[in-house]
Structure 1
């Protein structure tokens, strides 16, 4: 990498290496620090978002940069009561990280949050004028007691909701829990109630609550979800699973529906539903394999657990491999290495490699017939 730099003589801002090389600040946050640090005194009344908009930092990029600056101590905010009881947000920007104790002293020095004296303000009204006529109600209409509390009809909106069935309660719980998967899928109670019927139909068709949550919260649009209730209603209608058809077929189901419509009341001669057969759970069996005593569930009458059967299979394979390599090694060599069939296999492999290395050497050391006579004649 080539490096070339010329120090500016005017219109520059000094930046600390701690800011430029900060590991928790991205490029937008660092540019904001340098930009605000070089502002003139007349532009400090603007909010940080206004300066970021001039730099082209908008939307989620600005929110991410602001969160990093607040977390690292470069930006501090405080809500104070302004004129006429209106709340305002005061921002403190620094080019070095500041603790809360240091920021509190700066707030006090600047007078932020300190209410002024009532006598120091100018009157809120102008010159006295003529009395306005026609804004006062008749005496008959003021008999009721006035109250500053809001009407209570809206407070019982959720209390008027009808109770749900167990399936409806489960479906509502799944819909309200979607906000944990994505903040864009946050629903209110009334919005969730409008989708409960479709969610219950999913569960009646064999979909569990966890699978329903996964289907509704996965593969969200890249540009975001504008309306959570509209998006979920569309997905529930579009991805509705197939209805479960009984074993007797569609014709038998239609006949049963027609009989129920003709005579909806059940008769004593109707057959009882088949009893629910509990799921088979295999018994616990003590493993006959080596090692410490342990148990497992035998599905088809096994006497050893899967791990022991796999270890035995590896041992049988090792015996065949040792036989192919030309026999076993000495017991002390097997014990010196890994032990067990692994040690015996390693020793047999080493012995076979040694035999292969000695073969070419023996062939090179064997005398050539007639070699001595040839050498003598030449001499």
Structure 2
């Protein structure tokens, strides 16, 4: 393959090779990370779903991309109960994987591994966030996630290589969703039961072995299955059956993906989607029959019917007998044979010829 790469002079987004070459993250999730990373800081504080709708990523494609980002640490979610009785979901987004501890510290505005809180978003303290000016202003800095700094790299004004991950930006976005009613969260008993089910999967398949901390992280997703009416045995069967032929690379990522993708609908959603059968129409009232004989009533099957079935059949039989009698009293003339039809045609031609001759002589 021949390649010709021209680095853009401005208005570009630098992507980490660990994200671009990640074998388990879909292309939609990668594009979503790059899209949010390239936005100005004041445009990032929106729900993740709104960012996805900006380039028409909706439905199951968005749910799968979001599940990939949550599974591999690019998105962290936490539900919070507000003082006014409402609930909200806060999302922390980063273009580099974050641990749960790092996400919690960033959510609380506490510096984590080189992060400083700036205007509600967590960005490196030495980094100047891009603005809406064209071109964007601000100097790039090395990556700070995890406290590891990449090797120094000098880039001149006319570099023949595209920008590398040495100057990756670290961005975050918070998503807040408020609902009018308090959602039903899984109970502590359901969380404990879900954790036990997850830990017992190693008896079904050794490649599904989870650690205690991993099972605890997935317990919330598994408990949602139990809250929707799925038994512990059915949950265990759904997670351990139909495993991929090539095997499971990571039990945590595989189970997290399956818990999200195969989540059954809520019972109330099933009830709403199942429409009741149409009710039978009310029968028509009894009416008097217009047929001959004694007066009697019947229930018509259509509104325009005025005679009952026996009277209607009797009327049809009488009409058929009358038509037969008329045909026998006045029979149709017999059909002439072909010889008679030819002779009649010849006589007609002779009459027409004689009439034309006499008209000419006159």
Q: How would you bin the TM-score normalised by the shorter chain?
A: 0.3 to 0.5
Compute the TM-score of the two structures, normalised by the length of structure 2.
0.32
Compute the TM-score of the two structures, normalised by the length of structure 1.
0.31
- More contact order relative to length (CA 8 Å, sep ≥ 6): 2
User: More helix per residue: 1 or 2?
Assistant: 1
